[in-house]
Structure 1
Amino acid sequence: MIRGIYTAAAGMLTQQKRQDLLTNNLANVNTPGYKQDEAIIRSFPEVLLQTIRVPVKDKQPIGSLHQGVFVEEDVPIFKQGDLTETGVNTHFAIWDPELELIPNGQRRPILLFTVQGQNGERLFTRSGLFTEDAAGQLVTPEGYLVLDDQGRPIRTNGRSFTVDQKGNIRFSDGQTLRLGLTKINNPNQLLKQGEQIYRLQGNQGNLPFVNENENYQIFQGKLERSNVDPTQTMVDMITALRIYEANQQMIQFMDKTLEKAVNEIGRV
């Protein structure tokens, strides 16, 4: 009976964490480049029960005992988001056909913009919401420098420029360079660094930049929208709430049963 309470409580905690994750996804439905997080739920190891207080040769297995579930981790789903027009020449969007229709549980290589962190480390983002800072450099909203395919900060210095579908930048004075895009073969190695910013686990930040032969397109004056489906997220939130309530009622039922066992049966 007590084990049952612990199992139901584990289910409540799991659904509470899942609800928090879904709420955060829904809150970022309009955040450019946001990738929804998915809760990976695992069960605790099963325990094999057998008879006790009998000779070893006479012990018989009773069966297995489940000990509930828990949220092992939350992982971002890098499915392609829709593109929206902004008309701002410092806004960019990556269109990756391979990410357009992948199932949520499937992992495929992903292309990301490359930016430079405050300590000089290489970081990554799918959000092309860039602006020009006071020093004439292309930066993210957090102030990270946007890099070209040589690993150098992109300096606009107030010049007008155009970007073609392979990320080649042509400035009004004739200078040309290319946006630095990095291909991450295993997105599971990406860890969230902050708002729409990712870093690679371990010392893997010096990956080569992709060349123009990769199957992708860059759109200037557009942004990639969040890939959160608000309707499905609301359905998932309702489901999580119902499961939470079912576990809550189970705890109340077992509590009343224990109360009877102690207060009524114990008197007999």
Structure 2
Amino acid sequence: MDKMLYTAASGAVRILEAQSIRANNLANADTAGFKADLERVNAVPLAAQGNSLNTRIMAQTENSGFSHQSGVLNPTGRTLDLAIRDRGLFSVTVDGGEAYTRSGAMVANAEGMLTVDGRQVLGIDGPMQLPEHKDLFIGEDGTVSILPSEGGIIEEVGRLKLVNPDLALMQKGPDGLLYSRDGQVMAQNEDVLVDSGFLESSNVQAVSELIASMDLSRQFEIQVKLMKSAEKLAESGNRLLSNV
């Protein structure tokens, strides 16, 4: 009975871990540039002891990365809303290091620094800072130009750092940003192009995630029933022993 209880409890824990992955995906279904986390379960056979048969297999949830699928590009008409065509990533600063994202919802703070979710956006020469300007233009290669406040000619003030690593070599951090697995800084890629006035939607398939979440709930109920059955069997065994 103890083995049955342990097996059922292990299955319930695995399902709760899977539920947390699905819940996080659903919570970010409307987050620009979000990449859905994937779930993978590994079967771990337990070694038989004594004369028992090798029949027990435990389920273990493993991190299998994130979906590489691109989201839909939605028009916003805002110049600082940027979306990457096809493959590529924006670069941002994180604790003195560098991380990457598909989210291009950029905002200029009080100092004129371009930010995404409060993190400074990197250009090829460092963090991007906008001087006072009357108008702003962003080219498809990430070149940022302004029309000065006092008028005159359009001036180029920098260029966004756009990278295009193999996503299989990237991992997602707890903050939702992407990092290289070996910790190396990615190089600028001249082939990455951006569209101004668009934002990439999350690639979460909300309906599929919801159906998977409902299925996991049913599986959890089965594990709970197994644990209750193990408890009843244990109680019955104890009564038999007490009557001997």
Does 2:145 match 1:170?
A: yes
Q: Does the CA-based 8 Å contact 2:68-2:167 persist in structure 1?
A: no
Q: 2:151 — aligned with what?
A: none
Unaligned runs of 5+ residues in structure 2 are 148-153
Q: 2:7 — aligned with what?
A: 7
Root mean square deviation, CA, Å: 2.2
- Partners of 1:34 and 1:48 lie apart in 2 by 44
Q: 2:131 — aligned with what?
A: 157
Q: Which runs of 4+ in 1 moved over 6 A?
A: none
Deviation at 1:232, TM superposition (A): 0.6
- Partners of 1:5 and 1:247 lie apart in 2 by 9
Q: 1:197 — aligned with what?
A: 177
Q: Does the CA-based 8 Å contact 1:192-1:198 persist in structure 2?
A: yes
Q: Does the CA-based 8 Å contact 1:129-1:223 persist in structure 2?
A: yes
Deviation at 1:189, TM superposition (A): 3.5
Q: 2:93 is matched by which residue type in structure 1?
A: Q
TM-score (norm 2): 0.87
What SS does the corresponding residue of 2:189 show, helix, strand or coil?
coil
Deviation at 1:176, TM superposition (A): 5.9
Q: Taking every aligned residue pair, what percent have the same amino acid on both sides?
A: 23
Q: 1:229 — aligned with what?
A: 205
Does 2:89 match 1:112?
A: yes
Give the one of 123, 127, 131 matched to 2:107.
131
Does 2:47 match 1:47?
A: yes
Q: Does the CA-based 8 Å contact 2:143-2:156 persist in structure 1?
A: no
How many pairs are equivalent? 237
Q: Does the CA-based 8 Å contact 2:21-2:38 persist in structure 1?
A: yes
Q: 2:140 is matched by which residue type in structure 1?
A: Q
Q: 1:73 — aligned with what?
A: 63
Deviation at 1:12, TM superposition (A): 0.4
CA change 1:186–1:224 in 2 (3 A) is closer
What SS does the corresponding residue of 1:70 show, helix, strand or coil?
strand
Q: 1:210 is matched by which residue type in structure 2?
A: N
Deviation at 1:80, TM superposition (A): 0.5
CA change 1:126–1:186 in 2 (3 A) is closer
Unaligned runs of 5+ residues in structure 1 are 52-61, 97-109
- Partners of 1:189 and 1:80 lie apart in 2 by 15
- Partners of 2:162 and 2:174 lie apart in 1 by 18
Deviation at 1:49, TM superposition (A): 5.2
Q: 1:179 — aligned with what?
A: 160
TM-score (norm 1): 0.80
